[in-house]
Chain A
Amino acid sequence: MSEFALKTALPQYLRVEQEKIQNLAAAQGLDFFPIVFEILTYDQMNEIAAYMGFPNRFPHWRFGMEYERLAKSYEYGLSKIYEMVINNNPSYAYLLEGNSLVDQKLVMAHVCGHVDFFKNNYAFRSTDLDTGGKTTDPASRPKDYDPNRRWIDKMANHGARIRRHVARQGINKIEEYIDHCLSLENLIDPHAPFKGSGPSRDPDAEDKATEIPRLRAKEYMESFINPEEYLEQQRIKIEAEKEKEKKFPVRPERDILKFLLDHAPLDRWEHDVLEVVREEAYYFQPQMQTKIMNEGWASYWHSKLMTEKILDASEIIDYADHAAGVLATSKGQLNPYKLGIELFRNIEERWDRGQFGKEWEECDDLAAKKNWNLRLGLGKKKIFEVRALYNDVTFIDEFLTPDFVRDAKMFSYAWSNRNERYEIETREFKAVKEKLLFQLTNAGNPFIYVDDANFENRGELLLRHDHQGLDLRADWAREVLRSLVRIWKRPVNLTTQVEAKPVMMRYDGREHTTRHLRRE
């Protein structure tokens, strides 16, 4: 990293701006890790973006594909990456060489917002490391908060670990295996870091003496009503039942990667690679959970700092042109920058004017509501609180209001089979909110659990898709089963639904089958 940093250090005039902007941001109450800015050419930028911010990641063709996509879309003028920032302490942020000074200032202000968010939003605490580089229990937090987040080093170590395996096993073998691991990348439990590591077996499931229910009988009738043979039969039956109940895992597991690491028959290198993939999946998890908030927060602050403090008159037009580009919605797609910043501004205004609480909710007088202003001035305090304690799902759930949905012209859309296109479905508040929440829940991933690791007593894996009204994409699901078999080394089954009918998908290492299940 150091060599890299040396070649790309910020020129003096930008360092002056950085200091100025950081002081302004801190004066507004932003609280961020130290920030190291580096300046990159566009192909370096594309390279690092392809590695999702980390210059020393493990080798894999997928990053090459991402690079091709970025480089091409830059060449065609479709997109340009202005900025990138990584959640690390100190935080690294990359500026694009050749951008105008206004742009660089905007980006630096924006980055201050992101880094404040990394440091203070609860979800990112799951990325704290201990001195040994292991992730820590994020539940407790010391007073002077200066966590170890040397993910730059950690990712570089991951890279070194995998390169070592490549040297021993050959790139093809490792890369093919990483393909499988990456197929499972999203099979983690976002809540896992906050749950602590409880016992995975049910402590109540201690072996109890088998008690055989007897029919009630007077003592002298006992041997007639509960004859020995009958009791013996019953005992066998109950034991058999109990044997069946010795299910493993005791409770369904959502962190399937952890489950595989603990229980799949993996070679050491296989274990190592899977472990790397899992740790990195957990690192990126908070960013997926807070995309709208994080971008909204950073946009809120760059906008405030730029317009109130930083810009001089000659820069206003360029800034406005630029900010408009960032906040544009195109073709009906939600833009997290725009949705986020507007919601934060909305919250600030509501809390400034006291538009919350029981009295406000129960007020039926539209005119009164419109002019409602208790001059509480609580907005600033509230948005700082929100940035610390919420994620996208809870943020939308709590702060998206019917008024906001109307004013922001939000809608829900669905696929129309008849017209073969996506169409606007409705602008009704409840439906829009529901759709949005569904999109965000579990980062848009289906819920999949390990139900049984000894399915039908054959050591097969049984997964369950908790079907919430949406089918899985079938061809991809079959590919994932293939990857699971590669790792579990025994057949893998998945219960799900296809067109409202329960089915069991199965891959036994040779062929895929899907059979219908009877509804229970």
Chain B
Amino acid sequence: MNINATYINIYNVCKRELWLHANQIRFEHTSDIVYDGKLIHEDSYPLRSSKYEEIEIDGIKVDYYDTKNKVIHEIKRSNKIEQAHEWQLKYYMYVFEQHGVTDVKGILEYPTLRKTQPVVLSDVDRDRIKEIIADIDKIISSEECPPLQKKGICKSCSYYEFCFTKEVEE
């Protein structure tokens, strides 16, 4: 099973979304929030393109990699699910290491909040990533979709209507 960084991100938000997403049942295209994020990604840091590079290896696609300072930059719209963003970035660093690029640092960037957040990869994290990968593999290769779990974030999720629409009889 091919795992990418999106899976790592979603894994830390919602297991049900992970299963659906991995099975190509997706709703991101219906979401204004996702679209907003795409625009933020495209329009932030316009001067960067010459100095930074967008890199793709082994199922990951890094927003910007600063080769000189060895820093991976990841742009996000809001820091509501910061923990998931951190793991996504840590996974990038992990994959870089697997390919022999070591001592890489990470920065989460929230341009609309005018905030940044440095991220480092520790030994504990490396072990945790291995666990996460194994767990993701288990979830997405299962026939069963994980059950519905109501969370605070559900209402702003692009899967909300899919998960919560039902007929309530009188």
Our verdict on whether A and B bind, yes or no, reads no
Chain A residues proximal to chain B, CB less than 8 Å: none
